[in-house]
Chain A
């Protein structure tokens, strides 16, 4: 704030008319996805305070009270084993979120490193990684994951392990595209001329510039991973029972859909609300963080 003579300071000093400020504010507010943000906050609260919010033990059977319709004691009814659907959905949020975050950190992290390093270096390594990325993305994810998990056993970690390469490939492709354009910028050329080593250029000049893109795709990918994980759990090869995974719950109720619709309906709505919120929020993030890429 000391540089009073600086030209930007002069520009900032001119007051924006109140009317326009209000109008801009209103427009920004209209674009802000308030409802999705609220849903995501609720989700985070559920994840953090599941034991406090849930009214029942999510895995405790109470056969005498099975297929009970939604009521004041079981908000969303009970399933075939008499477990409380509401409490299971609350606890299920932990599984979905933990799994997708782990996949983002491990798979996405690998993809970011591969994308920036090979994108910057180019040459044979880049070409090979690109071919591998395209090959992975061409494979039918659900089927490959299905085969893998079926062979090596249903477990939380096996699902994570098989999803990581796919997520890494998606990250690598997008981050590489971004890196290719950053590589041509002047400051990278300057750093190179000044003799900066490759790892320093990637760390200090490229990574910070792909950060916004990474934030956006991570948000969108979390939604995508939740959908894939729930599909696997639905097919019976994802998270093993009796864990309250949302996809598993939908599958549990499928047989009784005509007599006890709530077992299937509510977990599905939970998936839908979560993924939809993530998608809308991610779309808004893209508009906000990277106005150039805004879809007009």
Chain B
């Protein structure tokens, strides 16, 4: 067990190193970073001084070493446009992205888990097929388009009809969360439905479920209490990965709904060629995903000792 965790930990560290190398190379490939800082009108000597100050006159592997050293201290560099530390900007924007991700997850679970249970219980019936279509529909809808359609209906159409409508942009009270969170959550319902379904089918044959039935418990209690509780283990661990996936989807959704989160900040940074910010966001999301993956794997082994942990 201890060996497995150590091994998995080492793998995660190597993964993170790979990410930093890729980001570093991508950042260097996007052009000389000094060009962003240095105006053409500056004299050559000043430009050279700038390069030295930024460490850009050194060979690539030394630049990478400096990059890694700063990173380890949590220093992601300075924003070119904002003239502020990228880390600070990230910390400011993270609550908006995270809270949206959590609400989206709540919505996805509220839809996906009951649907998954129903399609397991009514397997191969009309209900099962309908749940499957709903799940696939979620996976196949382009989120930018869904966002616009939701805005059109819940924001514009209902408002024009004089009915209660929903806010369509910005972050404020709870109502502002509904449309963006639904847009994000809708995409992952599919995964939750399928996982809940197969996990429920696994436990429905288990002895304790038969036992509960034999005790004369009502079918409702057997399914929603005894079976579901055990079927939730893989679903909950999978949810961690979904949260990581939301960080990627946040770029599009935050843009359409003018949500003041990390994704929108990154998009603005890309169009402003503010590469340190883009680089910071990419590294943060990548590392976040690897860390979540690590904990999910550990958690998996902890809650279910039957899972064998091999070193392969």
A residues adjacent to B (C-beta < 8 A): 131-132, 134-136, 138-144, 146-148, 150-152, 180, 223, 227, 230-231, 234-235, 237, 247, 250-251, 254, 257-258, 261, 264-265, 267-268, 271-272, 275-276, 278-280, 283, 295-296
Is B230 at the interface (CB under 8 A from chain A)?
A: no
B266:A143 contact, CB within 8 angstroms: yes
A257:B271 contact, CB within 8 angstroms: no
B278:A143 contact, CB within 8 angstroms: yes
Q: CA separation between A250 and B256, bound complex, in Å?
A: 12
A146:B142 contact, CB within 8 angstroms: no
Contact of A140 among B149, B156, B282 (CB under 8 A): B282
B257-282 interface bits toward A, Cβ cutoff 8 Å, 1 = contact, 0 = none: 00000010011001101010010011
Contact of A131 among B11, B26, B143 (CB under 8 A): B11
A265:B270 contact, CB within 8 angstroms: no
Contact of B290 among A134, A267, A280, A283 (CB under 8 A): A134
Q: A134-B290, A247-B142 known; 16 other A-B pairs, CB under 8 Å?
A: A135-B15, A135-B290, A138-B19, A146-B251, A146-B267, A150-B273, A180-B312, A235-B144, A257-B151, A261-B152, A267-B145, A275-B139, A276-B140, A278-B140, A283-B136, A296-B198
B198:A264 contact, CB within 8 angstroms: no
Is B299 at the interface (CB under 8 A from chain A)?
A: no
Q: CA separation between A250 and B252, bound complex, in Å?
A: 13
Listed by A's residue number, 20 A-B pairs whose Cβ atoms lie within 8 Å are A135-B18, A136-B22, A138-B293, A139-B285, A140-B285, A142-B249, A143-B270, A143-B281, A147-B30, A147-B270, A147-B278, A230-B144, A235-B267, A247-B142, A250-B148, A257-B156, A264-B145, A265-B149, A272-B142, A295-B198
Which B residues touch A296, using CB under 8 A? 123, 198, 201
Which A residues touch B62, using CB under 8 A? none
B31-59 interface bits toward A, Cβ cutoff 8 Å, 1 = contact, 0 = none: 10000000000000000000000000000
Q: Which among B244, B287, B289 has the highest number of chain A CB atoms within 10 Å? A: B289
Which B residues touch A237, using CB under 8 A? 270
Is B114 at the interface (CB under 8 A from chain A)?
A: no
B151 to chain A, nearest CB (A): 8
A231:B248 contact, CB within 8 angstroms: no
A144:B197 contact, CB within 8 angstroms: no
Is B141 at the interface (CB under 8 A from chain A)?
A: yes
Q: CA separation between A69 and B16, bound complex, in Å?
A: 52
Residues 281-295 (chain B) with a chain A CB within 8 angstroms: 281-282, 285-287, 289-290, 293
Is B14 at the interface (CB under 8 A from chain A)?
A: yes
Interface size on B, residues (CB 8 A): 56
Q: CA separation between A275 and B139, bound complex, in Å?
A: 8
Q: How would you classify the secondary structure of chain B's contact residues: helix, strand, loop or mixed?
A: helix
Contact of B270 among A150, A231, A271 (CB under 8 A): A150
Given A135-B286, A143-B266, A261-B152, answer yes or no on A268-B15 (Cβ-Cβ < 8 Å): no
Contact of B152 among A138, A258, A280 (CB under 8 A): A258
Contact of A279 among B136, B151, B201, B244 (CB under 8 A): B136
Is B247 at the interface (CB under 8 A from chain A)?
A: yes
Which A residues touch B275, using CB under 8 A? 147
Q: CA separation between A6 and B26, bound complex, in Å?
A: 62
Q: CA separation between A131 and B247, bound complex, in Å?
A: 21
Q: Which 4 residue pairs across A and B have the least CB separation, nearest first? A: A268-B145, A135-B18, A276-B140, A275-B140
Is B137 at the interface (CB under 8 A from chain A)?
A: yes
Q: CA separation between A251 and B140, bound complex, in Å?
A: 18
Which B residues touch A261, using CB under 8 A? 152
B278:A132 contact, CB within 8 angstroms: no
Residue in chain A with minimal CB distance to B245: A140
Given A227-B142, A257-B152, answer yes or no on A144-B282 (Cβ-Cβ < 8 Å): yes
B282:A268 contact, CB within 8 angstroms: no
A142:B251 contact, CB within 8 angstroms: yes
Q: CA separation between A258 and B165, bound complex, in Å?
A: 15
B148:A231 contact, CB within 8 angstroms: no
Is B239 at the interface (CB under 8 A from chain A)?
A: no
A230:B142 contact, CB within 8 angstroms: yes
